[in-house]
Structure 1
Amino acid sequence: MQTDPNELQVAWAALANERKDSGYLSIALGSAGPRFRGGIRYPDHQEVLLVGFNLQSPPQKQMLPAGRGFKVEVSSEPLGPGFSLWVALERQPGAIADLFTQMAEDAIEALSTPTAGSEAYLLSVLIARIRAWQDFMERPRAGRLSQEEEIGLFGEVAFLEMLLAEQVHPDKALSSWVGPRGGLQDFITDTAGVEIKTNLRPAGFPVTISSLEQLETLDGRLVFLGALRLTMQNEGRTLAVLINDIRHELEPFPGALGNFNRSLLFAGFDDSCSDEYTRSYLISQRRIFHVGDDFPCLRRGSLSTAIRSAVYELELDMIDGSSNDLGPVLLHFGVNT
Structure 2
Amino acid sequence: MKIEENKYKRLPNTHSFGLYTGFDNIGRTSLFVKLSKKPSFTTSSKYLIFEYNKRHDGLWALTVSIAEQQYVDVFNKLVADLVNTVCGINNSLVAERMFIQRFIAWKTLFEKEVTSMLDFSKIVGLAGELYFLSEFMFAKYGIVNSLNAWSGPLGADKDFSINDTWFEVKTKSLKKDTIHLNSNSQLISNNLGYLTIISYEKSSLANSNSTNLLDLYYKISNLIESQSLQLEFDRKLMNLNFIPDEKYKEINLVFHQIDFFEVNKEFPQLPNIEFEKVIKNIEYNLFLPELKQFKVEV
Q: TM (normalized to structure 2)? A: 0.63
* 1:185-264 pair list within 5 angstroms: 185-189=158-162, 191-204=164-177, 206-217=178-189, 220-233=190-203, 234-235=207-208, 236-250=210-224, 252-264=225-237
Deviation at 1:216, TM superposition (A): 0.6
**Residue type of the partner of 1:9?**
T
- In the other structure, the counterpart of 1:93 is 100
1:46 aligns with 2:94: yes
- In the other structure, the counterpart of 1:308 is 279
Q: Could you say if the C-alpha distance between residues 215 and 289 of structure 1 is closer, same or farther in structure 2, counting changes exceeding 3 Å?
A: same
CA separation in 1, counterparts of 2:198 and 2:119?
A: 18
Deviation at 1:37, TM superposition (A): 4.5
**Residue type of the partner of 1:299?**
P
Query: Structure 1: 5+ residue runs without aligned partners?
Result: 1-5, 20-35, 49-89, 100-135, 327-337
**Residue type of the partner of 2:201?**
T
Alignment check: 8 A CA contact 1:144 1:270 kept: no
CA separation in 1, counterparts of 2:176 and 2:102?
A: 48
Q: Could you say if the C-alpha distance between residues 221 and 168 of structure 1 is closer, same or farther in structure 2, counting changes exceeding 3 Å?
A: same
CA RMSD, aligned part only? 3.4
- Mark the structure with the bigger radius of gyration: 2
- In the other structure, the counterpart of 2:116 is 143
Deviation at 1:170, TM superposition (A): 2.0
Deviation at 1:289, TM superposition (A): 0.9
Query: Structure 2: 5+ residue runs without aligned partners?
Result: 1-10, 20-32, 37-86
CA separation in 1, counterparts of 2:240 and 2:100?
A: 27
CA separation in 1, counterparts of 2:250 and 2:287?
A: 29
CA separation in 1, counterparts of 2:293 and 2:16?
A: 53
Which of residues 14, 31, 56 in structure 2 aligns to 1:9?
A: 14
**Residue type of the partner of 1:283?**
F
Aligned-residue sequence identity (percent) comes to 18
Deviation at 1:147, TM superposition (A): 0.6
Larger mean CA deviation between 291-300 and 309-318 belongs to 309-318
**Residue type of the partner of 1:10?**
H
Deviation at 1:322, TM superposition (A): 4.5
Which of residues 258, 266, 272 in structure 2 aligns to 1:286?
A: 258
Render the CA deviation track for 1:279-308: whole Å, top value 9, x for unaligned: 2212212111111111111111xx333663
Q: Could you say if the C-alpha distance between residues 175 and 98 of structure 1 is closer, same or farther in structure 2, counting changes exceeding 3 Å?
A: farther
Render the CA deviation track for 1:155-207: whole Å, top value 9, x for unaligned: 11111112454152322111111112221111123522211000124242x11
- In the other structure, the counterpart of 2:7 is none
**Residue type of the partner of 1:227?**
I
Q: TM (normalized to structure 1)? A: 0.56
Runs of 4+ aligned structure 1 residues displaced above 4 Å come to none
CA separation in 1, counterparts of 2:99 and 2:253?
A: 42
Alignment check: 8 A CA contact 2:260 2:296 kept: yes
